[in-house]
Structure formats: structure tokens, C-alpha cells
Chain A
Amino acid sequence: MAGLSLELIGLQLFAGLALGSVYVLLAIGLSLIFGMLTVVNFAHGAFFMLGAYVGLWLLSIGVNFWICLVAVPLIVGGFGLAVERTLIRPLYGRGIDYPLLLTFGLSYIIVELVRIVFGKSGYPVATPDALQGAVDIGVGYFPLYRLFVMGVTALILVGLWLFLERTRYGLIIRAGARDAQIVRVLGVNISRVWLMVFGLGCGIAGLGGLLAAPLQGVIPEMGGPILAEAFVVTVVGGMGSLMGAVLAGLLVGVVVSMTSLFAPEMAKVAIFALMAVVLLIRPQGFFGRAGLMS
């Protein structure tokens, strides 16, 4: 094959990890929400898109990118809180199908509202000045902004890990995901925890959208494909498992990049083939709990 070298494979691997880090950002939110609330959030892609648009709007009124990094997840997360409180909370205890369908419908609404407000055509989002250009990573040049995205993802992961492992709220979330009733009888208002977790997941999705905006621009439909990919990641990693979401996200990224190297047109099917194979061997995914939801 023309131009195949060790450097290229290294660069390719790196590109895969960078790509995977965007998947991870979406998948941890999905997984967190599923693990805690057993809600399969079909609107997650819409929240991702919303993050990109909120960022676009903030940038257009002169807010700088670094402030957006904080403001966007807060705004999108806040919207997530409102959604949980008004639409999803009435559905707890009614099985997995109803929240799934509701969020499916909700995603239509969000996307259409964005079309009404921002128009149907997309907008470009410039890469922040400080993050333009490419840097040498040893095996070749790689866009600085993508390194930045990887860095932010890593930071979020570390932050989330510290939050879950070291704080009181983290302890509540870890325990609540396994046994909500116990947490309730130990004095925790579990509905508030669910509310916060949903908001947190949506906020991270919104941040993902903001980070993706300079990579691909923004359009109302941008949440669709990434949602499908994030679902694959969540399922392969094991629904509800954060560790699984991280590993599977990176794995899917690498699988895509390696397929891209050898059979690029198969890159998309490779994701689903991977998912089919993993699920047939291990139906609950890497770190999922067997028998869940069955």
C-alpha cells in the first residue's frame, strides 16, 4: 500500500484516540444517565447539537471561547435539568420504553426549534486563535485543536473520577446506581440526585458539542450520527459503566482509524460490526451487568 509507514500507523492510532475522545465525551453522559436512571437518552445527540449552537450564539455576542467552555455546559446542563424535572420524572417506574420514546420525540422538537431560531443552514465556527495550527507529536504533525480536545476530555474524565471517588455526592451516585432504595433510606433525596445526574450528563454532551463545533461546523442535524456512534460505544462498553464508556470510546476511535487506513469505506460499518461481535460474545458489553433490563 502506498505510503504506509510506521509513522503513519502511529499517527493513525493517535488520530483514532483523538476521535475516540469525542465519543467518550458523549458516551460517559449517556452511560451516567443510563446507569443511574435507566433512561436511554435518545435526545443526547440533540443536547450535543444544542451545546454547539449555544457556543455559536455566545461567540457571536462576543463571549470568548474560554468562557464558553464553562458557560455552555452550564446552560445546556440547566436545560437538561428542566427536561428531567418536567418531562422525564413523570415516567420513572414505567419501564424503559417510555423515556426512550419521549427523548426520541424530544430530540425532534429540539432540532426543529434550533432550525426555527438559527435557520436550516449551518454556520462555520473558527478554531480559537490560540489553538490554530498543527504541532509535531513525534510521528507527524497533528492539529493543535484536536490535542486540546483530547486534553479537555482527559480533564473531564479526571474531574469526574475525582468527583465520583472522592466526594460525598460521588459516593451517593455510585451507590445510587446500584441500589436507589438504600440511598433513599439513608436520607438521600434520590430524585434530586437523578435530576443532577441528568443535568450533568447533558452538560457534558453540550460541552462535547461546543468542542466539536470548530472541527465540523454546526448544523441542526449534527447530533444524529454522533448519537448512533455514542450508543455503540455505550453498549460495547456496557451500559451504565463509565470505565466501559471510556475504554470502548477509545477502542471505537481506534477501530475507525485503523479501518480508515486499510478499507476507509468500511469505517462506518466497522463500528456496527464491532458492536455486533462484542454483543454476541458478551451480551452485556465489556463492563455491563449481566441480566440488566432483560
Chain B
Amino acid sequence: MTDHKMSLTRRRLLGTVGAAAAVSPFAINIVRAQESKIKIGFPVPLTGPYGAEAEDQVRAAQVAIAEFNEAGGLAGRMAELLVRDDKLNPGEAATRTLELIENDKVNFIVGSLSAAVQLAVNNVTKQRKVIFNSISQSDAINEVADFSPYTFHEALNPHMTAGAVGRYAFQKFGKKVVFLTADYAYGTEMVTGFREAGKAFNIEVMGDIRHPIGATDFSTLLPRIQAMKPDILCISNFGRDQQIALKQATDFGMKKQMKIIAPILLYTGRIAAGEAAFEGVIGGTSYYWGIENKIASAKAFNDRFRKMFAGKVPSDYGSLAYGGVKTLLMGAKNAGSTDAEKVIPAVEALKYDYYKGPQYYRKCDHQSVQSVFIIESKTAPKDNPTDVFNVIAIDEPNEANLRSCEVLGHKA
């Protein structure tokens, strides 16, 4: 595989000359020769606070590309990954996606990390009928307003993770629940997921405290939560918000008073925030490398990843990128074409187990139906600093745990 960045740079330099040949608005899309590479645009937030996650996404995507190419590609057509920095900004992501589609003429787009970015990318791709496989979380992307036949969602959505964690926690730790929620769509979607799951357990919601996204201090919110004396505190936020909230809740001695759960715990976040803050916290994840002793495909994926990247293990968001790229490439291979109209039914038809057990895309909203792992953070053993979670339960793939197609506005 050539270094895509190098070749891009060269093209840029030639661009001022070369572009003159392609100015005619009618000449678009003619030059898409069959023997050319399969190009996958990959916008992820390389800069900004999720740079570490994004780098792991790139790594895992490269694993999928390498496997595809080693297996001979699509009748000899090799795949290529075009990485772009979306800077965690939807506007930048939309611009980058336009560049990938209009300039680089990519066949598929996979990527994104934040909800807003994935919705922005999706809006651009669906208008241009380019397949996009989103690898970040959102409930909105399943809904009819944002969904299109070109939209796939390999990642979990908040409803699924919160539901799985809720079903596990409410029966175990108690019914009195307080939410500490980031005040934006993703946060409220997680709370909705918990509440839906909680109905079966008759949970009592004592409070839902919203904090502004990007908060660095929770000390003014925590005393009130303590005063409510709940059994369970659901910290429904993400990334750094979550790390700081957990750290400060620990400082306030809240872990002794209540069980803290989170819909999603990030591997990279746990590494960054350290064991003390996460100790004993229970949450959900789409993937944890430690599942490899139970699931064969996970073992294969981890080994391949370790081999390519000096013994590193893939993170949760990384593995989603692997799945997202792999499914589209396999769909193309099965369809024998990169034509979107042919690839879509092929991907819809996939029943796959690439890295975490059986999965498939639901027909109506192209949501990947998959398992959710319930994990508990622990102190890593001395000899293996990557061993930070115990997988304490597996919520098996089940369409019944998803919001129904009707609820989402699709004609089932």
C-alpha cells in the first residue's frame, strides 16, 4: 500500500495544473475506471480531545484494509484508506467529506466519532448517494429524518448501550436512580434508554441533573446528588466529561454511598483517567479486547492488530472502525462491484462475525444488531496494564432491544 498522505501531497502540488483539465462541470464522474482502487474516505478527529481514539480508529481500519487486500481485493482491485482530520467539527467534517467525494472520488465513507459529525457527514453523503458507515454513537441517525438507504450504522446507539447496562444494573443494585447527564442529544438519548429499560424494573427516578457539555467541575452538582441518596447514579456523558465526573464523584466519597454506572465506558478514557476514578464503575461497551478468551473472532482480530501495531490492543472505537470498513468491503466483494445500488443489498444480506460475535444490519434502519458487553473497571494487574476491565455480562444481539422500526418512523 502506498502512503496515502504522500500521494495526496503530490497531487495537491500538481493540482493547480491538473485541475484545469477537469474544470468542465459536465466532466464530473466520467473518469472512474474499473481497475482503479477502492477508495474509502475516513474522516476522524485526529486533532482535539479524541485524538487518541481517532488514531486507534485509523489503525483498526488499516487492519481491515490489509486483510481485504491480502485476500486479493475485489477481483484484483485493492482498497485504499483516505484519512482526513475532521477536527471534531461538523462543518469541517462536511467540507472534508465533500473533498473526499468531489475531489478524491471515494467509493465509501466510514468514520466519525461524535454524534454531530456523523450526522453532518451523513447529510452530505446521502445527498450524493455515497454509502456512509458511521462508527460513532447516535440515536438520531436511525430515525427516518436522517436515515437514508446509503446510511449504515456499525456502532451501537445510546438506546442499546444504556438499555443493556440498565437491565443489568437495575436488578442488581437498586431501583432509586439519579442521572447526571450531559445536556445534549447524546446525553438525553442515553437517559431515555435507561428509562425505557427501567420500566420493567419499576425504577424510581429521583432526579435528572443536566450539566453543560464540556464541564470541568462537577463539585457544584454532586452535593445535591448526595442529598438525594439514590441506589444508583447513572453518569450519562462521554469522554472527558465522564472522566472528570467520575474522578470528582470519587473525591466526594460517592462510591461508598451509591453504585455508579455509565452507559458506555471507553478503554482510552479509562487509561487516561486512571484506575482510581473508574474503580468499580460499571458500564457498557461495544468491544473490549479481553473478550478474546470467549470469542474466537475477537482473538483473531486482536492478534492481527497486535502484529501490525507492536503489541497494542484495539480499543472499542478502533474495533468499530474495523467492523465498519470490513462490512462495506465484504459487501462490495459479494456484490462484485463498488456501485452503491449493488453494494447496499449485499451489505444488508451479510450475517457476519468479524470480531465480536454474530452481527447483522437491520433492514429498516441499517443498524448493526450486535451484542453489548457489560464491563466493570478494575485495577490492572502489574504485568498487563491493558487489562483494565472485567467483562461481567454479555447482552446478546436481539432486535427486541432496539427501538422498533415504527418508532423510528420507518415503514417496517
For residue A158, CB closer than 8 A to chain B, the reply is: no
A219 at interface, CB cutoff 8 A: yes
Measured between beta carbons, the chain B residues less than 8 angstroms from A141 are 252-253
Give the distance to chain B from A219, nearest Cβ to Cβ, in Å.
6
Residue-wise, chain A 40-65 has the 8 Å CB interface mask toward B (1 for contact) of 00000000000000000000000000
Residues of chain B in range 122-173 having any CB-CB distance to chain A below 8 Å: none
Q: Is the CB of B243 within 8 A of A2?
A: no
The verdict on A3 contacting chain B, using a C-beta distance below 8 Å, is yes
* B228–A219 CB distance below 8 A: no
Task: Give Cα distance in the complex from A225 to B209, angstroms.
Answer: 21
A123 within 8 A of B: yes
Cα distance, A123 to B207, chains bound together (Å): 31
Chain A contact residues, majority secondary structure: helix
Q: Are B48 and A122 in contact (CB under 8 A)?
A: no
Closest residue on chain B to residue A212 by CB atoms:
B216
Cα-based distance from A219 to B273 in the complex (angstroms)? 10
Contacts of A260 in B (CB 8 A): 211, 220-221, 224
Number of A-B contacts (CB under 8 A): 124
Is B405 close to A, CB under 8 A? Answer: no
B-chain residues with CB within 8 Å of residue A7 when the two chains form the complex: 227
Whether B273 lies near A261 (C-beta < 8 A) is: no
- Tell whether, in the assembled complex, residue B272 and residue A123 are in contact, meaning their CB atoms are under 8 Å apart: yes
B240 & A134 in contact (Cβ 8 Å cutoff): no
Chain A residue nearest in CB terms to B206: A2
* B211 touching A264, Cβ below 8 Å: yes
Instruction: State in angstroms the CA–CA spacing of A52 and B99 once bound together.
Output: 38
B213-260: which residues lie under 8 A (CB-CB) from chain A?
Answer: 214-217, 219-224, 226-229, 240, 243-244, 247-248, 251-253
How far, in whole Å, are A52 and B183 apart by their CA atoms in the complex?
Answer: 28
Q: How large is the interface on A (under 10, 10 to 19, 20 to 34, 35 or more residues)?
A: 35 or more
The interface size of chain B toward A, counting residues with CB under 8 Å, comes to 42
Digit string of A248-266 for contact with B (CB within 8 Å is 1, else 0)? 0000000011001100110
CB-CB under 8 A from B277, the residues of chain A are 124, 217
Q: Which of A12-20, A75-83, A165-173, A185-193 contacts B (4 or more CB under 8 A)?
A: A12-20
* B271 CB–A CB distance under 8 Å: yes
CB contact between A15 and one of B52, B207, B223 (< 8 Å): that residue: B223
CB of B228 within 8 A of CB of A215, answer no
Do B240 and A122 touch (CB < 8 A)?
yes
B216 with A264: CB separation less than 8 A: no
A133 to B251, CA, bound (A): 7
Assess the B49–A127 pair: CB atoms within 8 A: no
* Cβ-closest 8 pairs across A and B: A124-B274, A120-B51, A265-B210, A121-B52, A257-B220, A260-B220, A3-B227, A268-B212
B residues sitting closer than 8 Å to A (CB atoms) are 47-49, 51-52, 55, 183, 206-207, 209-212, 214-217, 219-224, 226-229, 240, 243-244, 247-248, 251-253, 268, 271-274, 276-277
Show 25 residue pairs from A and B whose CB-CB distance is below 8 angstroms, ordered by the A residue: A3-B206, A3-B227, A3-B228, A11-B223, A15-B222, A18-B219, A19-B220, A120-B52, A120-B55, A121-B268, A122-B49, A123-B272, A124-B272, A124-B276, A140-B226, A145-B251, A146-B219, A215-B244, A216-B248, A217-B273, A219-B272, A221-B49, A261-B220, A265-B183, A268-B215
